[in-house]
A and B are shown apart, each in its own frame.
Chain A
Amino acid sequence: MIEFKNVTKKYQNGTVALDNVNLKINDGEFVFIVGESGAGKSTLTKLLLREETVTSGQITVTAKTNEKTEYFDLGNLSASKIPYYRRKLGVVFQDFRLFPDKTVYENIAFVLRVVGKSPRTVKRNVQTLLKRVNLADKASCYPDELSGGEQQRVALARALANDSSIIIADEPTGNIDPVMSYDIMNLLIYIQQKFGKTVIVVTHEKELVDYFKQRVVTIKRGKIVDDRVGTMFETSEQEEASGKII
């Protein structure tokens, strides 16, 4: 479970990116985080990745794997523990962040080596992962030989590699054509349903969100203004004026 309690993030230049955010995400849940550009969505993911720290408030993560349950209070996480915490998360970015000089296979194998897996385990796991994202035949390709959608699937395989229990995707379809975008989303939902992983998808693509009918958390100017299952929340000027915001 992921829990944000009264989280405020104020950057050094004074920008308040998140303002007293409270959010609870259960294990195995699928959540869209939506909002306009600059609303604070990426800040939320950065805090969760422990790339940034909160100005006030608390973030706790309980990560369950088959063997054990681990509890992390991100405010009290020592620097040496951070890498181990991050292994509980799998992350996907808008710009894929694959290594251009490594093959698809190597891009994924690399993560397994980072966590100290033996060469044999690496080999077996990479093949399984590639099958899972339907790219078994592209193992020896380089990223620039793949379409955007394929590259993002490699990134997704990489995010799944270290058996993380939480997948965080920040605008995963931002650089992908619309048709392929549905593919990626389907894959993310499949991962949530089939493997019981918690999946958090940050996006501002309304159509996509509406299509999948999942839990949608809306952020506006650093505040959570809506949290519902189904279609994307839209604030119009009138609604704001009439004070309907939660």
Chain B
Amino acid sequence: MNNFSFSYSVTQSLKGLWRNRVMSLASILVLVSCMLVLGTFYALNLNINYNLDDLTLLNEVAAFVDEDCTGEEIEQVRQQIVAMDDLVNDVEYISKEMALEAEKEKFKDYPALFATLQDGANPYRASFMITYKDASLIEDLEYKLGQISIERTVVAEDGTESVTLVYPVDKVTSYTEIAETLENLRDGVRNVLLGFMAILFVVSMFIIVNTIRIAVFTRQKEIAVMRYVGATNGYIITPFVFEGIFMGLIAGILAFLVEWLIYDRAAAIITSQYRIFSVVGFGSFALLLAFSFLLIGLFAGVSGSMISIARYLKEKE
């Protein structure tokens, strides 16, 4: 395509959009709604995942250890856990202080939550966060963690020393059930998401095909004459494809802006009302969203317009 026919195509397509403005606007709005539904489900999915990760419910258990353990003992426990290499992938020790700091960091916007704590008071417990290998062996793991023992030398009041065996892991919390529920929810959301993607695709195509078909229909005679004077199919089709592209891109941009607005509103409400739920910042997926919306718009525009004009360009065999 040379410069002349490019600018021709652009002006023709803009004229076409304007001539058909009611239909064009309607298709843009339908496209926007489809994209919004898609975007919202995507954001929901993202947030569920984020919170699942955040609560480390997926393949971790927390083994809480005896308050009295010394640093040396903790190290012994750690080594014993590491030794269970058929069950355990990774072990991380989280001290009382670390646990408190982590929570403070997580809720740093709400210092009031921690204001009631007395100086030096720390309600959190030291624990090992253990990433396991196989969820079906979780009971084995729990049992073995309970069996971990260390020798502790106790000095009695009278000064005599005695060695006792202690089982420092006193509580194992696994969240398999909650995790399963949340995972199911996430899978459900993902399926709905995929379903919506399919529907979005069909609806957008249908809308664009229809709008461009009207545009083509109103210019049918013009197209016929263009063919008589030797216009190539590419030349004839381009303005219509551009028309579709413009509609798709405008819809993509609008959908992005609206999604942004809605999401920020929802995020503000959720974070102020349900503090435990962390909300993913819009910025972290804005680019992906914008890109997807534009791509969907582009694709719907190109294929929709091609479909609607193809039969007017078919030569007899």
- Do A87 and B316 touch across chains, with their CB atoms under 8 A apart? no
How many residues in A have their beta carbons less than 8 Å from beta carbons of B?
A: 27
- Do A113 and B4 touch across chains, with their CB atoms under 8 A apart? yes
- Do B4 and A86 touch across chains, with their CB atoms under 8 A apart? no
Which of A52, A53, A116 touches B4 (beta carbons < 8 Å)? A116
Quick check: is A10 within 8 A (CB to CB) of the other chain?
A: no
Q: Which residues of B contact A79 (CB under 8 A)?
A: 315
The CA of A49 and the CA of B231, in the complex, are separated in Å by: 13
- Do B8 and A113 touch across chains, with their CB atoms under 8 A apart? yes
- Do A116 and B5 touch across chains, with their CB atoms under 8 A apart? yes
- Do B315 and A114 touch across chains, with their CB atoms under 8 A apart? no
- Do B230 and A83 touch across chains, with their CB atoms under 8 A apart? yes
Binding site secondary structure of chain A: loop
- Do B230 and A115 touch across chains, with their CB atoms under 8 A apart? yes
Within 8 A of B (CB), among A87-107: 87, 91, 97, 99
Q: Which residues of A contact B235 (CB under 8 A)?
A: 114
- Do A83 and B316 touch across chains, with their CB atoms under 8 A apart? no
Q: Which residues of B contact A84 (CB under 8 A)?
A: 230
Chain B, 306-317, contact with A by CB distance < 8 Å: what is the 0/1 string? 000000000111
The CA of A135 and the CA of B58, in the complex, are separated in Å by: 82
Within 8 A of A (CB), among B220-251: 221-222, 224-233, 235
Quick check: is B160 within 8 A (CB to CB) of the other chain?
A: no
Within 8 A of A (CB), among B131-179: none
Most central of A49, A83, A86, A117 by chain B CB within 10 Å: A83
Q: Which residues of A contact B4 (CB under 8 A)?
A: 113, 116-119
A99-B225 contact in complex given A52-B316, A79-B315, A113-B8, C-beta closer than 8 Å? yes
How many residues in B have their beta carbons less than 8 Å from beta carbons of A?
A: 20
A53-B316 contact in complex given A87-B229, A118-B4, C-beta closer than 8 Å? yes
Q: Which residues of A contact B226 (CB under 8 A)?
A: 114
Quick check: is A220 within 8 A (CB to CB) of the other chain?
A: no
Chain A, 49-76, contact with B by CB distance < 8 Å: what is the 0/1 string? 1111100000000000000000000000
Quick check: is B2 within 8 A (CB to CB) of the other chain?
A: yes
Which residue from chain B places its CB closest to the CB of A92 in the assembled complex?
Answer: B228
Quick check: is A200 within 8 A (CB to CB) of the other chain?
A: no
The CA of A84 and the CA of B2, in the complex, are separated in Å by: 17
Which residue from chain B places its CB closest to the CB of A114 in the assembled complex?
Answer: B231
Q: Which residues of A contact B8 (CB under 8 A)?
A: 113
- Do A111 and B229 touch across chains, with their CB atoms under 8 A apart? yes
B215 to chain A, nearest CB (A): 14
Quick check: is A23 within 8 A (CB to CB) of the other chain?
A: no
Q: Which residues of B contact A86 (CB under 8 A)?
A: 227-230
B191 to chain A, nearest CB (A): 43
- Do A83 and B224 touch across chains, with their CB atoms under 8 A apart? no
Q: Which residues of B contact A91 (CB under 8 A)?
A: 228-229
Q: Which residues of B contact A82 (CB under 8 A)?
A: 315
- Do B229 and A158 touch across chains, with their CB atoms under 8 A apart? yes
Interface residues of A (CB under 8 A from B): 49-53, 79-80, 82-87, 91, 97, 99, 111, 113-119, 158, 161-162
Interface residues of B (CB under 8 A from A): 2, 4-5, 8, 221-222, 224-233, 235, 315-317
- 25 pairs from A and B in contact (CB 8 Å cutoff): A49-B228, A51-B316, A52-B316, A80-B232, A83-B230, A83-B231, A83-B232, A84-B230, A86-B227, A86-B230, A87-B229, A87-B230, A97-B225, A99-B222, A111-B229, A114-B229, A114-B231, A114-B235, A115-B229, A116-B2, A116-B4, A117-B4, A118-B4, A119-B4, A161-B229
